[in-house]
Amino acid sequence: MRPRAGIVPQLILYLQVLRPYQWTKNALLFAGFIFAGRFLATPEEIVRELLALFLAFVSFCLLSGSVYTFNDLLDQDADRAHPIKKNRPIASGAVTIPAAVGLGLIAALLGFTAALTVDIFFAPLFSGLSILYLGWGIGYTLYLKKAVILDALAVAIGFVIRVVAGCWAIRVAISPWLILCTLLLSLFIAFCKRRHELLLLGNERTLVRPVLSSYDGRLLDLFIAISASLTLMAYSLYTFTAPHILLGNQSEPWLMITIPFVVYGIFRYLYLTYRTDIAGAPEKMFSDGPFTINLLAWVGTVLALGWFAR
């Protein structure tokens, strides 16, 4: 019998079940705030909108944590055959099934509570998007992750829901370009992760993730190349149609100057995907210095363009 852990270590294990390291994905909720130029609003509006986004972020972190718990409960046998996932609290037996079920339900309840708070004080019907997100997570866990191509597309749709939710929370228009770029970039990352899993798991791939039996290295290389190309093209076209009034009061597509940052970011991700194992955990990209510096430079340039275009 596994010895009983102390209260603090046990709480840490419960937190690990919710995968807080994955919560960085929910930062996409703030994309609408940046690209709609809301950081240029009045201080009162900025505080109000950031508070709405913070509550929305908390809601999606808790809801995504409940989805991860549900996924780990269903996949615990397969996770035990994975060289890394076997150490997850549920798969390793560190957290019991009843405790995990209770934890997932509590996380979902608190997530809905935060979403209803956004409903009441900031954006009516926001909770509908939280329900949609939870439904997406359940559908992905039960079926979509087992269907070739649809598995990667479903992952991308999950990111799109986050972007839409962020725009809805602060009541700004949802740009079709923002949706398209998010979809394609997420698709690119998802295919990179599938390639990593295919190489890492080898003969165990079907046991751990059955959909990998429908992929092979050459096919995934092709999917990665296509999705990377489409991402770069979509972002470039977006910058062509996003005029900023800067020098001499002339409306020009100044956002085009951010294209090199996106090109470098995509190529750096490809380099790390094919030379390291970082594609297996995309959130670890922030540990790569050149990638992080480039990302910060891109964000800083976008903010500066918005500031000078006032």
Concatenating the DSSP letter of every residue in 103-164 gives HHHHHHHHHHHHHHHHHHHT-TTHHHHHHHHHHHHHHHHHTGGGSTTHHHHHHHHHHHHHHH
Residues 99 and 222 in one domain: no
Residues 250 and 146 in one domain: no
pLDDT at 246: 43
Residues 155 and 52 in one domain: yes
Residue 83 lies in a domain: yes
Q: What is the CATH number of the domain that holds 128?
A: 1.10.357.140
Residue 231 lies in a domain: yes
Looking at 150, 174, 198, the residue that finishes a domain is: 174
Residue 1 lies in a domain: no
| 251, β-bridge pairs | 245
Q: Which of 261, 285, 257, 251 is nearest to 271 (CA)?
A: 285
Please report the DSSP string for 209-277 in residue order: -GGGGG--HHHHHHHHHHHHHHHHHHHHHHHHT--EE-GGG-EE-GGGGGHHHHHHHHHHHHHHHHHSS
Looking at 151, 174, 197, the residue that finishes a domain is: 174
pLDDT at 242: 67
Residues 183 and 264 in one domain: yes
Structural domains in the chain (count): 2
Which ranges of the chain have pLDDT less than 50? 1-3, 245-249
- CA dist 165 and 170 (Å) reads 9
Give, as one character, the DSSP assignment of residue 93.
T
Residue 148 lies in a domain: yes
Residues 134 and 283 in one domain: no
Return phi, psi of residue 226, to 5°: -65, -45
Residues 185 and 305 in one domain: yes
Q: Which of 144, 170, 148 is nearest to 157 (CA)?
A: 144
Residues 180 and 165 in one domain: no
Residues 168 and 185 in one domain: no
- CA dist 225 and 231 (Å) reads 10
Residues 151 and 225 in one domain: no
Residues 107 and 128 in one domain: yes
Residue 87 lies in a domain: yes
Contacts of residue 116, defined as CB under 8 A and 6 or more positions apart, other chains included, come to 127
pLDDT at 24: 85
Q: Which of 125, 15, 123 is nearest to 62 (CA)?
A: 15
> Is residue 33 a contact partner of residue 39, using CB atoms and an 8 Å limit?
yes
Domain interval for residue 217: 175-310
- CA dist 275 and 20 (Å) reads 27
Residue 247 lies in a domain: yes
Residue 2 lies in a domain: no
The counts of H helices and E strands in the chain are 13, 2
CA–CA distances in Å: residue 198 to residues 153, 219, 246 = 18, 11, 48
pLDDT at 245: 45
> Is residue 15 a contact partner of residue 107, using CB atoms and an 8 Å limit?
no
Looking at 174, 205, 234, the residue that finishes a domain is: 174
Return phi, psi of residue 308, to 5°: -75, -15
Residues 154 and 188 in one domain: no
Residue 114 lies in a domain: yes
pLDDT in tens, 277-310: 776 677 778 888 999 999 999 989 988 887 766 6
> Is residue 31 a contact partner of residue 163, using CB atoms and an 8 Å limit?
yes
Residues 146 and 280 in one domain: no
